[in-house]
């Protein structure tokens, strides 16, 4: 009897310890360590470590000396990586507010397109060379597609505003100066010079102005660089004197940080500043950890 009692002690002690830590009827879910928290949403340490591996393979600081030498140079990459992920999370949240959500199916479709263009062996070698795994590359592409979709939605709003002002009778030059992202023309009221419609590189725009009467304005025309509105100032036999309003929103294949319109970058930057001021961004890695 004593032996039986002693054998029963250990299970009872373990059960007692568990019950002391857990409320009756509740289980404690596993919580993955966080690399950052952005407005209540967690960036997991797993996601951070996967992207950090990419940063190490594609070090953006190679050959660039630090303005102030750091006692821990590795933190520069860590900070770059987590801040990149924070920005992507802010973009994701803003997209979600507009009902934009990119799922695995969309990301996989994009990946399959890239793989078909490059051939599987070349594609897989490129992933490995850049530090990507299949999962981390899918996450990277999902973030890219989300940003492009958000940019397109916001650009369409800006194009709608420009069209509304034109319909209300405002001068084309004034509207172009206010809304156009075409740095080569907006300071001239959108004036783009004399062109043959056949020489206009964007086929939808060329078709829209092909038979447009002088003084008339197109509707919003979607092109691979975004949205455009055009007016024919004058016509000759085979040429049009064109003025344009271009709201940038490149397709995913043309998209790059350098080509992102300044108003979109400012919008995301301002949102990040507001979240930081409100204490809604908490970094747990990098040299700004805790802030």
Domain segments of the chain as ranges: 171-248
pLDDT top residue among 223 and 24 = 223
Lowest-confidence range among 3-12, 34-43, 148-157?
Answer: 3-12
The pLDDT of residue 288: 74
Q: What is the mean pLDDT of the chain?
A: 86
**Distance (Å, rounded) from C-alpha 220 to C-alpha 205?**
9
pLDDT at residue 12 greater than cutoff 50: no
Token pair for 9: 């002690």
The pLDDT of residue 60: 66
The pLDDT of residue 21: 44
Rounded to a whole number of angstroms, the CA Rg of the chain reads: 27
Q: Is 99 helix (H, G, I), strand (E, B) or coil?
A: coil
**Distance (Å, rounded) from C-alpha 85 to C-alpha 230?**
38
The pLDDT of residue 22: 42
| pLDDT single digits (tens) 126-155 | 999 999 999 999 999 999 999 999 999 999
Residues 84/143, Cβ–Cβ less than 8 Å = no
| pLDDT single digits (tens) 162-179 | 999 999 999 999 999 999
pLDDT at residue 59 greater than cutoff 80: no
Share of the chain above pLDDT 70, in %: 84
> How big is the CA angle at 194 (ends 171 and 261), to the nearest 5 degrees?
60
Q: Would you place residue 3 in the very low, low, confident or very high pLDDT band (cuts 50, 70, 90)?
A: very low
Residues in the chain: 291
- Mean of pLDDT values over 33-45: 95
- Mean of pLDDT values over 270-286: 95
Nearest in space to 146 (alpha carbons), one of 82, 88, 222: 88
CATH 3.10.50.40 at 171-248, yes or no: yes
CA distance from start to end of the chain: 61
Q: Would you place residue 19 in the very low, low, confident or very high pLDDT band (cuts 50, 70, 90)?
A: very low
Q: Would you place residue 257 in the very low, low, confident or very high pLDDT band (cuts 50, 70, 90)?
A: confident
**Distance (Å, rounded) from C-alpha 75 to C-alpha 130?**
20
Share of the chain above pLDDT 90, in %: 72
pLDDT at residue 273 greater than cutoff 90: yes
């Amino acid at each position: 009897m004593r032996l039986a009692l002693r054998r029963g002690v250990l299970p009872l002690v373990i059960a007692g310890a568990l019950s002391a830590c857990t409320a009756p009827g509740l289980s404690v879910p596993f919580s993955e360590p966080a690399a950052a928290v952005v407005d209540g949403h967690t960036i997991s340490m797993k996601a951070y470590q996967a992207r950090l591996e990419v940063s190490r393979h594609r070090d953006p600081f190679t050959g660039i000396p630090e303005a102030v030498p750091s006692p821990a140079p590795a933190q520069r990459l860590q900070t770059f990586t987590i801040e990149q992920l924070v920005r992507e999370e802010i973009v994701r949240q803003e997209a979600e507010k507009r009902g934009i959500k990119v799922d695995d199916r969309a990301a996989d479709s994009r990946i399959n397109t890239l793989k078909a263009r490059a051939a599987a062996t070349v594609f897989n070698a490129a992933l490995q060379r850049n530090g990507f795994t299949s999962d981390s590359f899918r996450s990277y592409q999902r973030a890219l597609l989300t940003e492009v979709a958000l940019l397109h939605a916001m650009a369409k709003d800006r194009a709608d505003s420009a069209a509304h002002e034109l319909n209300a009778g405002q001068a084309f030059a004034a509207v172009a100066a206010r809304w156009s992202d075409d740095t080569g023309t907006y300071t001239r009221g959108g004036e783009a010079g004399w062109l043959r419609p056949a020489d206009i590189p964007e086929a939808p725009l060329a078709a829209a102005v092909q038979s447009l009467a002088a003084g008339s304005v197109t509707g919003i025309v979607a092109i691979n660089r975004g949205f455009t509105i055009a007016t024919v100032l004058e016509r000759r036999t085979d040429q049009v004197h064109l003025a344009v309003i271009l709201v940038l929103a490149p397709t995913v294949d043309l998209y790059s940080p350098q080509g992102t319109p300044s108003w979109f970058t400012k919008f995301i930057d301002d949102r990040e500043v507001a979240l930081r001021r409100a204490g809604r961004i908490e970094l747990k890695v990098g040299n700004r950890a805790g802030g």
